[in-house]
Every structure is written in structure tokens, then in C-alpha cells.
Chain A
């Protein structure tokens, strides 16, 4: 199993540009989520999904969109990038029965100029 994969690893955008951060998992996990990591603030939940076709907002959803058309993929879209969105983004997944821990991808480091 590859686990949770994220692309790209690094990205630089200009203010106002749009882009999609990709996330995929091969563990057949129902639950997937996106976090952003900022210095001194830990990780904060952006959006999450409990299954294909179902998404909901987390703690800091503004400026981000998500969709979940398949169990495997959970892309995060920035519609109009802002410098405040400079961060490291982590995707995570977990199953909905048994084990409770989440598995994290390697992260995408995004810089918005």
C-alpha cells in the first residue's frame, strides 16, 4: 500500500491564482480530511469528508473548496490564492470502524506571493 499520497510536494503561486492540491489513499478509508499547519498553531482542520459525495467544513474553510467523487481521492481547491494561505497542507484518512488513528500524507508546502 502507498498509504496517503499528496501532490505536488512544493508549489509557489501568485496572489489570485487558482490551483488544486491532490490527495489520494489506497486503504479504502471512508474518512478523509485536509489540515493546514502554521508555526505555533499546530494543525487546523480545513474540510473533511465521511464518504464519496459527502463533505463538510472544518475550523478554517474560507478560501478552500473540496469535493469527493470517489473513495480514493479528495482534492483541495484554492480558488483565488492569498498570502494568508501560505502554509503546509496535510491530507489524512482513517477508517470508520476499529482503529481510530488517522494516517497522514507527506504534505504540500505552498507559498503565495
Chain B
């Protein structure tokens, strides 16, 4: 079956530091890949997505590239802010057919950014 593995957390950084959160996946076919963010006390929000190999998703200074050869979708940001403190989830969605895009999530990575 499908699976998503994220780097162990929590991650603690100083403001303006570089961020990488690793994500690798196992799936059959050609899944879509997502990063969701969950701010304290809130639900999940889509941060960025990529639907095919070599696509780069980007939003709010975050980027991730769909690497089929390494089955990875690592999240990066060049300069984090305190407001980026949240839980980040990597997820994949089945390509379609009868599965209707069920999401498989990684375990989440807690990011804390200090001033």
C-alpha cells in the first residue's frame, strides 16, 4: 500500500534560518504530492502541491520538487519566520481510478521558530 515517511521532529530553528523537512513516499502509479500545514488550534491548510514528476510546488516562500527517481518531496524555505511555527504534513493522493484521491499522510513534523 501507499506510505509517506517524514523526518523525525520536532525541528527548532532561529528566525531567518534555512529549513528542510524531508519526505519520501511509496506508491504505485503516479500519485499527486502535497504539503499541508496546521497552525496551533486550527485545521489543515494546503501549503503547496505537485501533480507530476519534476513539478515544483511553491507558496509563501516554501518550495518542494516532485522527484520520482528518489521518491521524495522535500519541503524547503530559505528564511523562516516565527509565524511559520506549525506542524507540517507531507501527503500523497492516489492518481485516480476508483480510489478517488484518498490521502495518505506522513506523521507530521513540528516546527518551532525562535526570534
Chain A residues in the interface with B (C-beta under 8 A):
31, 33, 35, 40-45, 48, 50, 58, 90, 92, 94, 96, 100-107
Number of B positions contacting A (CB below 8 A): 22
For B107, list chain A residues within 8 Å (CB). 40-42
Chain B 16-52, CB-CB to A under 8 Å as 1, else 0, gives: 0000000000000000101010000011111001010
User: Does B89 belong to the interface (CB within 8 Å)?
Assistant: yes
| 6 closest residue pairs by CB, A with B | A42-B105, A104-B44, A106-B43, A104-B43, A43-B105, A42-B107
Q: How many A-B residue pairs have CB under 8 A?
A: 54
Can you identify 14 A-B contacts, CB atoms within 8 angstroms?
A33-B102, A35-B105, A41-B107, A42-B89, A42-B105, A42-B108, A43-B103, A45-B103, A90-B44, A100-B101, A103-B46, A104-B43, A106-B42, A107-B42
| Contact between chains at B102 and A100 (CB < 8 Å) | no
A100 partner residues in chain B, CB cutoff 8 A? 32, 49, 51, 93, 101
A60 CB, nearest partner CB in chain B, Å: 12
Measured CA separation A90–B44 after assembly (Å): 9
* CA A58 to CA B101, docked complex, whole Å: 12
| Known pairs A43-B103, A102-B101 / 7 extra A-B pairs, C-beta < 8 Å | A35-B103, A42-B106, A58-B102, A90-B44, A96-B100, A106-B43, A107-B42
Q: Which residue of chain A has its CB nearest to the CB of B94?
A: A100
**Are A101 and B44 neighbours in the complex by a CB distance under 8 Å?**
no
Are the C-beta atoms of A104 and B45 separated by less than 8 Å?
yes
A66: min CB distance to chain B, Å: 14
